[in-house]
Amino acid sequence: MASSNFVDYVKIFCRSGKGGAGSVHFYRGRAMPFGGPDGGNGGRGGHVILRGNKQLWTLLHLKYTKHISAEDGVSGKGAEQTGAEGKDYIIEVPLGTVVRDAETGEINLEIIEHGEEKILLPGGRGGKGNTHFKSPTMQAPKFAQPGEDGVEGWKILELKILADVATVGFPNAGKSTLLSVISKAQPEIADYPFTTLTPNLGMVSYRDDRSFIMADIPGIIEGAHEGRGLGLRFLRHIERNSVLLFMVPITSESITREYNILLNELKMYNPELLDKPRLLAITKCDLVEEAELKKYTRKIPKIKHVFISAHTNMNILKLKDMIWDSINNVPA
């Protein structure tokens, strides 16, 4: 997924259709030159609808779409003919899209399933024709209802990536390297901070033709919950994942301290993230003699962990087993 093509935030102005006006009409025929009212109702205005599409991974297709308008309903006609409904405007979005009101910040809706449709802005109702207002005391009403106005406003669409497991770690912790080894994803990899500027997804093959989806989230730094570094831009992508895989290199000055910093950033951003299953992968273990790994065990926080090396495939299958068990709630 090229970074220039990954868009996870757009702001658009949406407007639903106005309802059609009811008709003021009276029946006229050769045998009845002064017939009663027969004005039809106006048609409903078009809705603005969001539809989930699992083939989409980004909001790129909406990046240059600033205004969206559904069609207005058509006015009613004589002979009690109802006007046509305005055409709905359907916005296809990737799974995990959240829509907020730009002014209040309130969440309007979210899409998490393929084919799921939700009305973002309902179209205005059509007005009633004058045939609905006739009565014994008013046999020839010369009025009808106007159509109801549509709804409009600025909306913010945010994408929160849906995956089974998300990697959490400082820049250069080996997250992208791991994803490239255990899946067919090809994230950019280099030995400098913030190589990964956009989330990457990979389908990881497991035993017996099973698989799970891993998300490589750009590196977190201390203070990310306050917007430092890549900050809040990518912390939200961690919210939608089932399992959190913390990754700390064995070359870190303190594995426990680094893990606690990462944990605190998630807690400050959203305390509910701490309710998710957590695993710890100690990366880059090829840089240390295997005989020395035992002395690191007492320096590791009390969490289910594994020593790995993406370069030598050390314990990669064991890591997959741990992830699979956590995704499927298999007890340790």
Which of these, 145, 119, 121, 120, lies nearest to 132 by C-alpha position? 145
Chain center to CA of 182: 25
Angstrom distance (rounded) from CA 244 to CA 252: 20
Total-model pTM: 0.70
Provide CB contacts within 8 A for 252, sequence distance 6+: 258
Distance between first and last Cα of the chain: 35
Using DSSP's 3-state secondary structure scheme, residue 33 falls into coil
219 neighbors 173 (Cβ within 8 angstroms): yes
Give the mean pLDDT per block of 10 residues along the chain (332 residues). 66 97 90 86 97 89 92 95 96 93 92 95 96 90 94 93 85 84 63 54 86 80 49 67 91 90 86 90 88 78 90 92 88 54
Task: Mention every residue, 6+ apart, whose C-beta is less than 8 A from residue 307.
Answer: 250, 282, 285, 293, 296, 314, 315
In the chain, the domains with their CATH numbers are: 1-159 (2.70.210.12), 163-327 (3.40.50.300)
Q: Which residues pair with 154 in a beta bridge?
A: 13
Other Cβ atoms within 10 Å of 119 Cβ, number: 14
Residue 227 has a pLDDT of 46
Q: Which amino acid is at 211?
A: S
Beta bridge partners of 202: 214
The rounded distance, in Å, linking the Cα atoms of 126 and 39 is: 13
CB-CB contact of 202 with 185 (8 Å): yes
Would you give the DSSP letter of residue 210?
-
Under a CB-based contact definition with an 8 Å cutoff, are residues 216 and 202 in contact?
yes
- Tell me the chain's radius of gyration from C-alpha atoms: 29
Distance CA 187, CA 176 (A): 6
Query: Residues 231, 224: contact at Cβ < 8 Å?
Result: yes
d(CA 176, CA 30): 82
C-alpha torsion sign, points 175, 178, 184, 186? positive
DSSP H or E stretch at residue 263:
helix 255-269
Query: Which residue in this structure is represented by tokens 């980004």?
Result: 58
